Amino acid sequence: MSEPRFGHVALVGRPNVGKSTLLNALVGEHLAIVTHKPQTTRNRLVGVVTEARGQIALVDTPGMHQRRPHGLNRRLNRSAGLALREVDAAVLVADATRWTDEDEQVLERVAGFPGPRLLVLNKIDLLDDRSSLLEWTAQLSPRLNPQAVLYLAACRAEGVAELLDELFACLPAGPPAYPADEFTDRPARFLAAELVREQLMLQLHQEIPYGLTVQVERYEARAGRLWIAALIVVAEDRHKGMVIGRQGQVLKRVGSRARRAMAELFGQPVHLDLHVRTRAGWVDDERALDELGFSD
């Protein structure tokens, strides 16, 4: 390519197809949090890839879903849909091991996108017989009309280089929008809050994580160390005790693991204070959602 390329690319799919794992593999940083639970991603997050051939701003979106339509879920779906209006290319990410009604919903949205579309069949490492990928391609390609179909195992970074090649090829010429040493548009406070939430989702029972969120109340660099204080907000009083755990063991474990992840990401020691507060019904309270940072 004679001219550097630049553009925004949306990674779109239902929950748990590996969009955040793919973003991290493309960027080369633990930027988006990853767990096995649906709706781990709640905010649009831009990851930046800068190379000699140009720059790609990758937009990781919440998984489009058909779950109970409380206020938070409605905002997550709107956020994912709006991302398609603001990008130059769209990547439909699907789990190569199964196709669901939610995948159908996403395909219909992406098929209407006016720019270049790519289809990524992820998690091919879980397939016993990869010949099924040809069947997937034959069924889905006429409906999506993608510029390319790629087969990935994002957890192993398998196929990632080929995806980058296709993305650079379909983006317009233009100067970079982000400094070469930046890998995200999000501030460190946001990343710190997400690393705490990641550990909460990994440590807690299935139903609890969807009723909690995390806010960083203090982020200060002093004496070669980051001093971070974070508030964990839960939707029900009974969840507060579960988050803290017997003799504070759950909260201590979450804090210890989140602190190590922060130190690795930010490149310096971290002192982390966590506390928990109940805000009843915040997931269905429009004012609370605004205050807690869940904008469309």
For residue range 114-130, list pLDDT tens digits in order.
Answer: 999 999 999 999 999 88
pLDDT level of residue 209 (50, 70, 90 thresholds): low
The more confidently predicted of residues 11 and 208 is 11
Q: Please check whether residue 245 lies inside any domain of the structure.
A: yes
Please check whether residues 197 and 121 belong to one and the same domain. Answer: no
Please check whether residues 151 and 218 belong to one and the same domain. Answer: no
Mean pLDDT value across the chain: 88
Positions of E strands within the chain: 5-12, 45-51, 54-60, 89-95, 117-122, 148-151, 212-222, 225-234, 270-278
Residue 191 scores a pLDDT above 80: yes
Q: Over the range 10-45, which residues count as b (16 or more CB within 10 Å of their CB) and which as e?
A: bbbbbbbbbbbbbbbbbbebebbbbbeebbbbbbbb
CATH number at residue 144: 3.40.50.300
Last residue of a domain, one of 114, 140, 170: 170
- Residue 31 pLDDT: 86
Range in 21-35, 57-71, 74-88, 94-108 the model is least confident about = 57-71
Q: Residues 164, 26: contact at Cβ < 8 Å?
A: yes
What gap in Å lies between CA 59 and CA 169, rounded to an integer? Answer: 18
Please check whether residues 132 and 206 belong to one and the same domain. Answer: no
Reading the block at residue 212, the tokens are: 């909690």
Give which of 147, 129, 127, 149 is closest to 138, Cα–Cα.
Answer: 149
What gap in Å lies between CA 250 and CA 210, rounded to an integer? Answer: 17
- Residue 211 pLDDT: 80
What gap in Å lies between CA 165 and CA 288, rounded to an integer? Answer: 42
Please check whether residues 219 and 117 belong to one and the same domain. Answer: no
For residue range 255-271, list pLDDT tens digits in order.
Answer: 999 999 999 999 999 99
- Residue 280 pLDDT: 87
As a whole number of angstroms, the longest Cα–Cα distance in the chain is 62
Residue 68 scores a pLDDT above 60: no
Residue 65 scores a pLDDT above 50: no
- Residue 76 pLDDT: 60
CB atoms within 10 A of CB 138: 10
Please check whether residues 140 and 221 belong to one and the same domain. Answer: no
Average pLDDT for 92-100: 94
What gap in Å lies between CA 296 and CA 130, rounded to an integer? Answer: 38
**End-to-end distance of the chain based on CA atoms, in angstroms?**
36
Residues in the chain: 296
CATH number at residue 276: 3.30.300.20
Name the residue range of residue 48's domain.
5-170
pLDDT level of residue 84 (50, 70, 90 thresholds): confident
- Residue 83 pLDDT: 74
Residue 207 scores a pLDDT above 70: no
The more confidently predicted of residues 206 and 105 is 105
